[in-house]
Amino acid sequence: MKPNTRSALTLASPSIAWLVLFVAIPCLFMLLMSFLSTGIFGIQFKFTWRNVEQFVSTPLYGYLLFKTFRISIFTTIITLVAAYPVALFLSRQHGTLKTVLILFLFLPFWIGNVVRTFAWLPILGRGGVINQILLDLHIVSEPADWLLYNDFAVYLGLVYVYLLFMVLPIFLAIDRIEPALYEAARDLGASGWATFRRVTLPLSQPGILSGSIMVFLLAFGAFVTPALMGGTSGIMYSNVIATQFFADNNWTFGSALSSVMTVLVIVFLAASGRFVGLRSVFLSRAEDPR
Amino acid sequence: MTYRANESRTEKALLWGYASLVYLFLYAPVITVTVLSFNDSQVVGLPLKGFTTRWFMVVFTEPELVAAFANSIMLGILSATIGTALATLLALAYRRPFPGNGVLFYLIVAPIILPGVVGGIILLVFFGMLKIPLSLWTTALTAHVTWVLPFSFLSLYPVMHRFDHSLEEAASDLGATRAVVFRRIVFPLIRPGIVAAWLFAFSLSFDEFVRTLFLTGFERTLPVQFWYMVVESLSPEAPAMAVVIIVISVATSLAGAMLSRQRT
């Protein structure tokens, strides 16, 4: 072994040990647990296909998985459409104003999900701001209930919580475009729209991909937003997994459900890896905490 | 810059208008909660019934809340310290390619990729099988270090690649040992980056919720306490507590961001 390699591995070894012990091995434990069953005396250490059968035979789980997938796809699309102009806007600013605008974009995203999602309740709730406005304008005669606890509220919450993860990589991609390219496009007589379509949009594609992968993953695993804003009918896959542990005390089936989710996430990432370098997905958001 | 000539006046107006709406969307909930935290009403919501600071008094005196507050701060300090120490060594290893660094990268970002619920469950199952009881300072701390480690690493990675390697070479050509090179050249250059990574890690740990919910046992952190406060019965002091959490998260992240700007 070359001395450089040895010193690199020595430096990396504490983290490798930590990640193997507390990520890799626990993942295997979860996978093993998926093939055990829970009896009245606790976990029975005997191999069984029971959880797989239960998953396949109960429509609820497949339905929730599909619903979660659908919500994640739509959230990704909505976030992309909402974020792109913001990224474009930021890339066209200069100097201190640009720094300040970026800072103020980051600020709300430094607040944890629970608090940030909670903040919507006094806006959308029965005694909330929107209802007060609707009442004052005599648009409704009594407080509306339909603002919260439905799919609309979940989408709103998810877009709110994950918008930055789309704006940031697109902004970084647009910001890296050589000004000379815009000049060339103008000199060759391209209109604003043609320049956007032929220069800006293609060159921002890596950012679009990075952002979409990130937002999809985050939405797919969403727990807090559907729980607080979705109500009982608005729950997503993560919520039903948590129920197995907090209410039903069925760790083996809960492990099976979360193994399914983990496998899907890995498949999704492996598939995305064909279009974009996954390393860049993570390193482009290095400056950002969440 | 020259390319701005491509931007027409209407385009500029449209972008400004749209961006203002997005910023309004981002800040409306934060502003609402802040206003409501001073509202002298037993119910969370409108109408505004007068100004009071009593909800903040409740937050700072209720023993359960004070305990959760102390737990979160301590857990944040511990996990940021352990996580950033591990991540610093790891990022130093990544200064040059080494065999297996590609595969290892996936293991490093695994805690970010795994959905939060899964991140909690794998450790719950792991500690459960080993019969290790749940507590803040064992199981929850482990989860927090695992959670902040990849983010610390990702924020330190560019720091390690940014500085001029010829400085190191010059020092060793002049006869400095590796230890001296590290202490006198490398460490002073990366120190602001390490402090910034620590602050981000603290803020991440301070705000962590789902994994903690699975792993904390009886002692609660601030987000977990806040969660139960919202889910079980919406207590009137909830907005005040939210404001306290917001101030701490934003202040630490802001300090981290300032530091990571400075080092360039």
Per residue in B76-105, is it b (16+ CB within 10 Å) or e — as a string?
bebbbebbbbbbbbbbbbbbeebeeeeebb
pLDDT score of B44? 72
The answer to whether the CB of B18 falls within 8 A of the CB of B3 is: no
With pLDDT > 90 as the criterion, what percentage of chain A qualifies? Answer: 42
Q: Is the Cβ pair B7, A92 closer than 8 Å?
A: yes
What is the CATH number for A271?
1.10.3720.10
pLDDT digits (tens, 9 = 90+) for A15-73: 999 999 999 999 999 999 999 888 777 777 888 888 888 888 988 999 999 999 999 99
The model's confidence at residue A1, banded by pLDDT at 50, 70 and 90, is low
Q: Is the Cβ pair B45, A127 closer than 8 Å?
A: yes
In this complex, which of A7, A14, A90 lies closest to B86 when CB atoms are compared? A14
State the DSSP code for A274: T
For residues B19 and A88, what is the distance between their CA atoms, to the nearest angstrom? 10
pLDDT score of B76? 94
The answer to whether the CB of B139 falls within 8 A of the CB of B217 is: yes
What residues in B contact A176, CB-CB < 8 Å?
Answer: none
For residues A243 and A225, what is the distance between their CA atoms, to the nearest angstrom? 16
Domain total for chain A?
Answer: 1
Q: Is the Cβ pair B155, A185 closer than 8 Å?
A: no
**Coil, helix or strand at residue B51:** strand
Helix (H) or strand (E) holding A120: none
Residue A269 lies inside a defined structural domain of this protein = yes
State the DSSP code for A145: S
The DSSP string of A7-58 is: HHHHHHHHHHHHHIIIIIHHHHHHHHHTTSEEETTEEE-S--SHHHHHHHH-
The model's confidence at residue B6, banded by pLDDT at 50, 70 and 90, is low
What residues in B contact A107, CB-CB < 8 Å?
Answer: 250, 254
What residues in B contact A262, CB-CB < 8 Å?
Answer: 114-115, 118
Does the domain formed by B53-262 have CATH 1.10.510.10?
A: no
Q: At what angle do helices A237-246 and A59-91 cross, to 10 degrees?
A: 130
pLDDT score of A149? 83
For residues A109 and A290, what is the distance between their CA atoms, to the nearest angstrom? 8
In this complex, which of B46, B86, B117 lies closest to A258 when CB atoms are compared? B117
The answer to whether the CB of A251 falls within 8 A of the CB of A184 is: no
Average pLDDT over residues A100-105: 90
How far is the alpha carbon of B19 from chain A, nearest alpha carbon, in Å? 6
What residues in B contact A7, CB-CB < 8 Å?
Answer: 93
Whether the predicted pLDDT of A275 surpasses 90: no
ipTM above 0.90, yes or no: no
Residue A214 lies inside a defined structural domain of this protein = yes
Residue B193: both structure tokens together: 């980056």
Q: Is the Cβ pair A19, B146 closer than 8 Å?
A: yes
Whether the predicted pLDDT of B3 surpasses 60: no
Q: Read off the amino acid at residue A91.
A: S
How far is the alpha carbon of B197 from chain A, nearest alpha carbon, in Å? 9
Whether the predicted pLDDT of A290 surpasses 50: no
Average pLDDT over residues A92-113: 89
What residues in A contact B206, CB-CB < 8 Å?
Answer: 112
Neighbours of B50 (CB within 10 A): 8
The answer to whether the CB of B124 falls within 8 A of the CB of A245 is: yes
Whether the predicted pLDDT of B12 surpasses 60: yes
Average pLDDT over residues B126-140: 92
pLDDT score of B262? 65
What residues in A contact B248, CB-CB < 8 Å?
Answer: none
Q: Is the Cβ pair A127, B46 closer than 8 Å?
A: yes
| Cα dist from A22 to B126, B131, B137, B211, B218, whole Å | 8, 15, 15, 13, 22
Of A108, A106, A142, give the one whose Cα is nearest residue A126: A142
Q: Is the Cβ pair A287, B230 closer than 8 Å?
A: no
**Coil, helix or strand at residue B263:** coil
Q: What are phi and psi of A44, to 5 degrees?
A: -100, 120
Residue A230 lies inside a defined structural domain of this protein = yes
Q: Is the model more confident about B21 or about B51? A: B21
Residue A262 lies inside a defined structural domain of this protein = yes
Q: Which pTM does this prediction carry?
A: 0.90
State the DSSP code for B133: P
pLDDT digits (tens, 9 = 90+) for B165-193: 788 888 888 888 888 888 888 888 888 88
**Coil, helix or strand at residue A275:** coil
pLDDT digits (tens, 9 = 90+) for A138-147: 787 777 777 7
Average pLDDT over residues A254-281: 89
What rounded mean pLDDT belongs to chain A? 87
The model's confidence at residue B80, banded by pLDDT at 50, 70 and 90, is very high
What rounded mean pLDDT belongs to chain B? 87
The answer to whether the CB of B201 falls within 8 A of the CB of B80 is: yes
Average pLDDT over residues B93-117: 90
Q: Is the Cβ pair B26, A25 closer than 8 Å?
A: no
Residue A147 lies inside a defined structural domain of this protein = yes
pLDDT score of B115? 95
What is the span of the domain harbouring residue A92? 58-283
Mutate to test the interface with B, among A7, A15, A174 (most CBs of B within 10 A): A15
Q: Is the Cβ pair A185, B6 closer than 8 Å?
A: yes
Alpha helix ranges (H) inside B94-186? 101-113, 116-129, 141-162, 165-173, 178-181
How far is the alpha carbon of B235 from chain A, nearest alpha carbon, in Å? 12
In this complex, which of B101, B123, B245 lies closest to A115 when CB atoms are compared? B245
In this complex, which of A82, A238, A279 lies closest to B105 when CB atoms are compared? A279
In chain B, where the domains are located: 1-37, 53-262
Q: Is the Cβ pair A92, B238 closer than 8 Å?
A: no
pLDDT score of B191? 87
For residues B191 and B163, what is the distance between their CA atoms, to the nearest angstrom? 12
For residues A163 and A157, what is the distance between their CA atoms, to the nearest angstrom? 10
